Chain A
Amino acid sequence: GAGVSQSPSNKVTEKGKDVELRCDPISGHTALYWYRQSLGQGLEFLIYFQGNSAPDKSGLPSDRFSAERTGGSVSTLTIQRTQQEDSAVYLCASSVGVGETQYFGPGTRLLVL
Protein backbone atom coordinates (compact mmCIF):
# COMPACT_ATOMS: atom_id res chain seq x y z
CA GLY A 1 0.00 0.00 0.00
CA ALA A 2 0.93 3.66 -0.06
CA GLY A 3 3.52 4.91 2.37
CA VAL A 4 3.58 8.10 4.39
CA SER A 5 3.21 11.15 2.19
CA GLN A 6 4.18 14.72 2.95
CA SER A 7 3.59 18.00 1.23
CA PRO A 8 5.06 20.20 0.05
CA SER A 9 8.35 18.44 -0.67
CA ASN A 10 10.15 21.77 -0.63
CA LYS A 11 9.17 25.12 0.82
CA VAL A 12 11.03 28.39 0.61
CA THR A 13 9.67 31.21 2.71
CA GLU A 14 10.68 34.58 4.04
CA LYS A 15 11.50 35.20 7.65
CA GLY A 16 8.38 36.11 9.57
CA LYS A 17 5.92 34.24 7.35
CA ASP A 18 3.79 31.33 8.55
CA VAL A 19 4.08 27.89 6.96
CA GLU A 20 1.97 24.75 7.08
CA LEU A 21 3.40 21.31 6.50
CA ARG A 22 1.15 18.35 5.84
CA CYS A 23 1.49 14.67 6.60
CA ASP A 24 -0.71 11.84 5.40
CA PRO A 25 0.08 8.63 7.35
CA ILE A 26 -0.15 5.04 6.21
CA SER A 27 -3.77 3.97 6.18
CA GLY A 28 -4.73 2.33 9.47
CA HIS A 29 -1.81 3.74 11.43
CA THR A 30 -3.10 5.32 14.62
CA ALA A 31 0.15 6.95 15.73
CA LEU A 32 1.79 9.83 13.89
CA TYR A 33 5.08 11.54 14.69
CA TRP A 34 6.88 14.69 13.65
CA TYR A 35 10.68 15.00 13.69
CA ARG A 36 13.11 17.63 12.48
CA GLN A 37 16.53 17.09 10.97
CA SER A 38 18.82 20.09 10.64
CA LEU A 39 22.06 20.12 8.69
CA GLY A 40 24.64 18.30 10.73
CA GLN A 41 22.12 17.50 13.44
CA GLY A 42 20.46 14.27 14.34
CA LEU A 43 16.78 13.55 14.14
CA GLU A 44 14.98 15.62 16.75
CA PHE A 45 11.54 14.62 18.04
CA LEU A 46 8.87 17.30 17.94
CA ILE A 47 5.46 15.80 18.76
CA TYR A 48 3.42 12.65 18.38
CA PHE A 49 -0.27 11.87 18.09
CA GLN A 50 -2.27 8.88 19.24
CA GLY A 51 -5.46 9.31 17.27
CA ASN A 52 -6.19 13.01 17.42
CA SER A 53 -4.56 13.54 20.81
CA ALA A 54 -0.97 14.62 21.39
CA PRO A 55 0.33 12.85 24.52
CA ASP A 56 3.82 14.25 24.05
CA LYS A 57 4.53 17.63 22.54
CA SER A 58 7.69 18.15 24.54
CA GLY A 59 9.90 18.50 21.50
CA LEU A 60 8.21 21.56 20.03
CA PRO A 61 10.99 24.20 20.16
CA SER A 62 8.79 27.20 20.90
CA ASP A 63 5.20 28.37 20.97
CA ARG A 64 5.59 29.33 17.32
CA PHE A 65 5.24 25.63 16.55
CA SER A 66 1.91 23.85 16.71
CA ALA A 67 0.42 20.72 15.24
CA GLU A 68 -2.95 19.14 14.91
CA ARG A 69 -4.41 15.95 13.62
CA THR A 70 -7.96 15.52 12.46
CA GLY A 71 -10.02 12.43 11.79
CA GLY A 72 -7.21 10.28 13.09
CA SER A 73 -5.47 10.74 9.78
CA VAL A 74 -3.88 13.83 8.25
CA SER A 75 -1.71 16.04 10.41
CA THR A 76 -0.56 19.61 9.91
CA LEU A 77 2.51 21.16 11.49
CA THR A 78 2.33 24.94 11.57
CA ILE A 79 5.26 27.25 12.15
CA GLN A 80 4.34 30.86 12.78
CA ARG A 81 6.67 33.81 12.22
CA THR A 82 9.37 31.60 10.79
CA GLN A 83 12.99 32.21 11.68
CA GLN A 84 16.12 31.22 9.81
CA GLU A 85 16.93 28.62 12.46
CA ASP A 86 13.69 26.84 11.51
CA SER A 87 15.33 25.79 8.24
CA ALA A 88 15.47 22.01 8.30
CA VAL A 89 13.92 18.87 6.90
CA TYR A 90 10.67 18.10 8.67
CA LEU A 91 9.95 14.39 8.74
CA CYS A 92 6.68 12.69 9.52
CA ALA A 93 6.38 9.05 10.52
CA SER A 94 3.51 6.76 11.37
CA SER A 95 3.09 3.45 13.14
CA VAL A 96 0.31 0.95 13.71
CA GLY A 97 0.28 1.89 17.36
CA VAL A 98 2.38 3.90 19.76
CA GLY A 99 5.72 2.21 20.36
CA GLU A 100 5.50 0.17 17.18
CA THR A 101 7.85 0.44 14.23
CA GLN A 102 7.79 3.88 12.67
CA TYR A 103 7.82 4.41 8.92
CA PHE A 104 8.99 7.74 7.60
CA GLY A 105 7.68 9.94 4.84
CA PRO A 106 9.94 11.68 2.32
CA GLY A 107 10.09 14.88 4.36
CA THR A 108 9.52 18.56 3.69
CA ARG A 109 12.65 20.60 3.15
CA LEU A 110 12.02 24.07 4.61
CA LEU A 111 14.28 27.00 3.84
CA VAL A 112 13.69 30.30 5.60
CA LEU A 113 15.41 33.22 3.92
Chain B
Amino acid sequence: QKEVEQNSGPLSVPEGAIASLNCTYSDRGSQSFFWYRQYSGKSPELIMFIYSNGDKEDGRFTAQLNKASQYVSLLIRDSQPSDSATYLCAVNVAPGGTSYGKLTFGQGTILTVHP
Protein backbone atom coordinates (compact mmCIF):
# COMPACT_ATOMS: atom_id res chain seq x y z
CA GLN B 1 0.00 0.00 0.00
CA LYS B 2 1.35 3.39 -0.96
CA GLU B 3 1.79 5.84 1.89
CA VAL B 4 -0.25 8.51 0.13
CA GLU B 5 -2.73 7.62 -2.57
CA GLN B 6 -4.71 9.86 -4.85
CA ASN B 7 -7.36 9.08 -7.42
CA SER B 8 -5.17 9.01 -10.47
CA GLY B 9 -7.63 10.58 -12.86
CA PRO B 10 -7.44 12.25 -15.18
CA LEU B 11 -10.43 14.16 -13.93
CA SER B 12 -12.35 16.24 -16.41
CA VAL B 13 -15.03 18.72 -15.36
CA PRO B 14 -16.89 21.46 -17.21
CA GLU B 15 -16.22 25.08 -16.44
CA GLY B 16 -18.23 26.24 -13.46
CA ALA B 17 -18.56 22.77 -11.94
CA ILE B 18 -17.13 21.49 -8.65
CA ALA B 19 -13.98 19.41 -8.93
CA SER B 20 -13.41 16.90 -6.14
CA LEU B 21 -9.91 15.56 -5.51
CA ASN B 22 -9.31 12.81 -3.00
CA CYS B 23 -6.35 11.53 -1.04
CA THR B 24 -5.86 8.76 1.53
CA TYR B 25 -2.82 8.17 3.71
CA SER B 26 -1.58 5.20 5.66
CA ASP B 27 0.41 6.68 8.57
CA ARG B 28 -1.88 7.46 11.51
CA GLY B 29 0.88 9.66 12.87
CA SER B 30 0.32 12.11 10.05
CA GLN B 31 -0.28 15.58 11.36
CA SER B 32 -0.33 18.12 8.57
CA PHE B 33 -1.74 17.91 5.08
CA PHE B 34 -1.05 20.01 2.04
CA TRP B 35 -2.46 20.48 -1.41
CA TYR B 36 -0.15 21.72 -4.12
CA ARG B 37 -0.96 22.61 -7.70
CA GLN B 38 1.59 21.91 -10.42
CA TYR B 39 1.27 23.27 -13.91
CA SER B 40 3.08 21.39 -16.65
CA GLY B 41 6.78 22.20 -16.57
CA LYS B 42 6.48 24.22 -13.37
CA SER B 43 7.21 23.55 -9.72
CA PRO B 44 4.53 22.79 -7.11
CA GLU B 45 2.63 25.78 -5.78
CA LEU B 46 0.92 25.64 -2.40
CA ILE B 47 -2.87 25.92 -2.47
CA MET B 48 -3.87 25.02 1.06
CA PHE B 49 -2.84 23.26 4.21
CA ILE B 50 -5.00 21.72 6.90
CA TYR B 51 -4.17 20.34 10.33
CA SER B 52 -7.50 19.83 12.06
CA ASN B 53 -10.46 17.62 11.30
CA GLY B 54 -13.21 19.32 9.36
CA ASP B 55 -13.34 21.83 6.56
CA LYS B 56 -11.10 24.75 5.74
CA GLU B 57 -12.18 27.21 3.08
CA ASP B 58 -10.10 29.67 1.09
CA GLY B 59 -11.88 31.37 -1.75
CA ARG B 60 -13.00 28.73 -4.25
CA PHE B 61 -11.02 26.02 -2.49
CA THR B 62 -12.15 23.86 0.42
CA ALA B 63 -9.95 21.26 2.08
CA GLN B 64 -11.60 18.54 4.12
CA LEU B 65 -9.80 16.33 6.63
CA ASN B 66 -11.04 13.21 8.36
CA LYS B 67 -8.26 11.71 10.45
CA ALA B 68 -10.37 8.76 11.60
CA SER B 69 -10.82 7.70 7.98
CA GLN B 70 -7.30 8.88 7.02
CA TYR B 71 -8.78 10.90 4.22
CA VAL B 72 -8.22 14.41 2.93
CA SER B 73 -9.92 16.03 -0.02
CA LEU B 74 -9.87 19.25 -2.00
CA LEU B 75 -12.96 20.77 -3.55
CA ILE B 76 -12.66 23.43 -6.20
CA ARG B 77 -15.87 25.38 -6.74
CA ASP B 78 -16.68 27.25 -9.93
CA SER B 79 -13.83 25.49 -11.73
CA GLN B 80 -12.02 27.54 -14.35
CA PRO B 81 -9.87 26.41 -17.29
CA SER B 82 -6.93 28.00 -15.46
CA ASP B 83 -7.41 25.38 -12.72
CA SER B 84 -6.29 22.71 -15.18
CA ALA B 85 -3.15 21.24 -13.62
CA THR B 86 -1.87 18.31 -11.58
CA TYR B 87 -2.92 18.44 -7.94
CA LEU B 88 -0.58 16.90 -5.41
CA CYS B 89 -1.57 15.76 -1.94
CA ALA B 90 1.28 15.81 0.59
CA VAL B 91 1.47 14.61 4.16
CA ASN B 92 3.81 15.32 7.05
CA VAL B 93 3.95 13.23 10.20
CA ALA B 94 4.03 14.58 13.73
CA PRO B 95 7.29 15.46 15.51
CA GLY B 96 8.98 12.31 16.70
CA GLY B 97 7.74 10.30 13.75
CA THR B 98 10.46 8.58 11.81
CA SER B 99 9.72 10.55 8.69
CA TYR B 100 9.07 13.89 10.39
CA GLY B 101 10.10 16.87 8.34
CA LYS B 102 9.82 15.49 4.86
CA LEU B 103 6.65 15.63 2.84
CA THR B 104 5.33 12.40 1.39
CA PHE B 105 3.50 13.05 -1.85
CA GLY B 106 0.82 11.21 -3.71
CA GLN B 107 1.20 10.58 -7.42
CA GLY B 108 -1.05 13.50 -8.27
CA THR B 109 -4.39 13.89 -9.99
CA ILE B 110 -4.53 15.55 -13.38
CA LEU B 111 -7.48 17.92 -13.58
CA THR B 112 -8.81 19.30 -16.84
CA VAL B 113 -11.49 21.99 -16.80
CA HIS B 114 -13.06 22.33 -20.23
CA PRO B 115 -14.94 25.41 -21.38
Q: For the complex, give the distance between the alpha carbons of A104 and B51 in Å.
A: 20
Q: What range describes how many residues of A lie at the interface? A: 20 to 34
User: Does B44 contact A106, Cβ atoms closer than 8 Å?
Assistant: no
B-side interface size class: 20 to 34
Interface residues of B in 58-115 (CB under 8 A from A): 88, 90, 92, 95, 99-108
Are B101 and A48 in contact, with the CB atoms below 8 A?
Answer: yes
Q: Which A residues touch B106, using CB under 8 A? A: 42
B17 CB–A CB distance under 8 Å: no
Whether A106 and B43, one on each chain, are in contact in the complex, defined by CB atoms closer than 8 angstroms, is: yes
B101 and A43 contact, CB distance less than 8 A: no
Query: A42-B88, A56-B100 known; 17 other A-B pairs, CB under 8 Å?
Result: A42-B106, A42-B108, A43-B103, A48-B101, A56-B99, A56-B102, A59-B102, A89-B43, A91-B43, A99-B31, A101-B46, A101-B49, A102-B46, A103-B46, A104-B43, A105-B43, A106-B42
**Residues of chain A whose beta carbon lies under 8 Å from any beta carbon of chain B:** 31, 33, 35, 42-43, 45, 48, 50, 55-56, 59, 89, 91, 98-99, 101-107
